[in-house]
Structure 1
Amino acid sequence: MSTDLTLPGPVSPPHVVRMELDTFSGVDRPALAKWFAALFDDLLAPLCPASVRELVSVARDYVPSETTPWGPPGYARLLLSSGDFTRSSWDEALSDLPSFLRVQLVQLDFQGLPLVDGGWCAEILLKDDPSFPHQIVVTASRSLFGGWISRVVQQDWLSAFRSGASLVRASGGWITLDRVGVRTAHEVAVGVGLDESLFMAAELARGPHWATLLGPRQVAALGGVQEVCASAPCFSVEHLGGGRILLQLTEHLDEVPQDAVEKLTEFLRPVLH
């Protein structure tokens, strides 16, 4: 049976926390593999109602049928782009990090089918395409957080974001809430295609977000590090080194007033499509 990697269809927001880093730089792949391992263990695995060991154990003895084709009822499925998830297959994938890597946790209904309404999923994706920036994407359904994303969890995501941005020398990136799809809300609003956005990602930010990483070229276009640090209308402004600045718009991820977004949009206008 071929491995199905289709995510459940989109449901009405609010439902997704999304983190993305884009980079044109060559990446230290052993260091990136270590970062991915920590990302899974520290950010995604704790969100799963069952332990990874339990899920792998159940899946190992599971036999697909016409009524439960993808996984045992009531459990999540863990998949790698190369096949079913086991700790050994995950370790193997990390030790020889491929140019395309996807690991996914998806909640299943009583028939072993992916839940769409009221279900959850979490995913890590690495896309290494020489024509565009390398993309690192982490998503998790908001329902995984029990309806409230604590400050501790937000800081964990920000910490992973900071370390990943420095590791891959990111040209840009963000953490946002309740945006579905590969294009950002800004790109959808102004009608910019994904290919155009990725091709210009080093020069142009892909929109205002709760956490917005500005790359060196974007910072320079906004007047330089000192100007951005002094003028950005954000709760927190942090220079990560190398000309990269992390803007945290508000204190809490799930409290982002529209007027705050509008102020950040106006500030970023010179580097937006």
Structure 2
Amino acid sequence: MSPPHVVRLELDTFSGVDRPALARWFEALFTDLLVPLCPASLQELVSVARGYRPSDTTPWGPPGYARLLLSSGDFTLPSWQAALTELPSFLRVQLVQLDSQGLPLVDGGWCAEILLKDDPAFPHQVVVTASRSLFGGWISHAVQQEWLTMFRSGASLVRASGGWITLDHVGVRTAHEVAVGVGLDESLFMAAELARGAHWATLLGPRQVAALGGVQQVCATAPCYSVEDLGGGRILLQLTEHLDEVPPDALQKLTEFLGPVLH
């Protein structure tokens, strides 16, 4: 089996989004977290989904993309604010390594992606993924802490009902969802009540924390390296010190602990 190759951060929420604040968060995410991973000599390819209209057959995926090529200098707060204003329901930004002709390098290249799904008819999602090869195959403790910092601030900003950071190659569904056969739509609509699995970093929302006995109970008994009360009934569980060192027994203990709020 190939080693996990994607770092994935996801926040799920049912609350309205403060778009100016979200634009500032996206700008910080890009400039502080993703740009340092990109070789300075490469330009970025940005793909933005425009004209997305949900339907019964394509509730999550847009029917097409309009591609927009920008240099890193165009990733400013005004550009993020404009994008969020012009694209009220769907925003997708992809960075991929370009070859000498300025075309996406498919084989042996790297990629990172920011995805915002924000349609009133569906649960909102904020997803950030980055290829492990961006980190040279090893993710330093300092970089892990930067992802956690961005995760905390994003969770508070969108008043997240749940979320996670993991190192895997499962896809849009979590390893737990795949194992128990739960579909993505069901998981998202139940995200306020049920966690989407046990991960290296697991954000428990207010309803999940309450179902596990409350803030004090979770903070005192969660079998994790770090347990952090973020306020508002939200708790961040960090399973182990290092993202790429998660023993199966540690994951199993956390899964058992989260049993009452898992599918």
Q: Normalised by the size of structure 2, how large is the TM-score?
A: 0.86
- 1:33 and 1:89 map into 2 onto residues whose CA distance is 11
1:94 to 59, 81, 93: 81
Conservation of the 8 A alpha-carbon contact between 1:37 and 1:94: no
**Structure 2 counterparts to residues 34-73 of structure 1, below 5 A:** 34-50=24-40, 55=43
Alignment partner, residue 196 of structure 1? 186
- Give 1:117 deviation, angstroms: 4.4
> Is 2:32 the counterpart of 1:32?
no
**What are the ranges of 5 or more consecutive residues in structure 1 without an aligned counterpart?**
1-10, 56-75
Question: Deviation digits for residues 123-172 of structure 1, max 9, x if unmatched?
Answer: 00000122321100000000100121111100000000000000000000
Q: Higher mean Cα deviation, 234-243 or 12-21?
A: 12-21
Alignment partner, residue 228 of structure 1? 218
Conservation of the 8 A alpha-carbon contact between 2:123 and 2:189: yes
Conservation of the 8 A alpha-carbon contact between 2:26 and 2:80: no
Which SS does the other structure have where 2:45 is aligned?
A: strand
Decide which structure has the larger Cα Rg and report it: 1
**Structure 2 counterparts to residues 153-232 of structure 1, below 5 A:** 153-232=143-222
Conservation of the 8 A alpha-carbon contact between 2:46 and 2:67: no
Conservation of the 8 A alpha-carbon contact between 1:204 and 1:272: yes
Q: Normalised by the size of structure 1, how large is the TM-score?
A: 0.83
- Give 1:93 deviation, angstroms: 4.1
Alignment partner, residue 58 of structure 2? none
Aligned residue pairs total: 241
- 1:132 and 1:13 map into 2 onto residues whose CA distance is 33
- Across the aligned residues of Structure 1 and Structure 2, the Cα RMSD in angstroms comes to 1.9
1:80 to 40, 48, 57: 48
The letter of the residue matching 2:68 is: D
Q: Higher mean Cα deviation, 41-50 or 247-256?
A: 41-50
Conservation of the 8 A alpha-carbon contact between 2:224 and 2:237: yes
The letter of the residue matching 2:23 is: A
The letter of the residue matching 2:47 is: L
- 2:140 and 2:75 map into 1 onto residues whose CA distance is 32
Conservation of the 8 A alpha-carbon contact between 2:97 and 2:109: yes
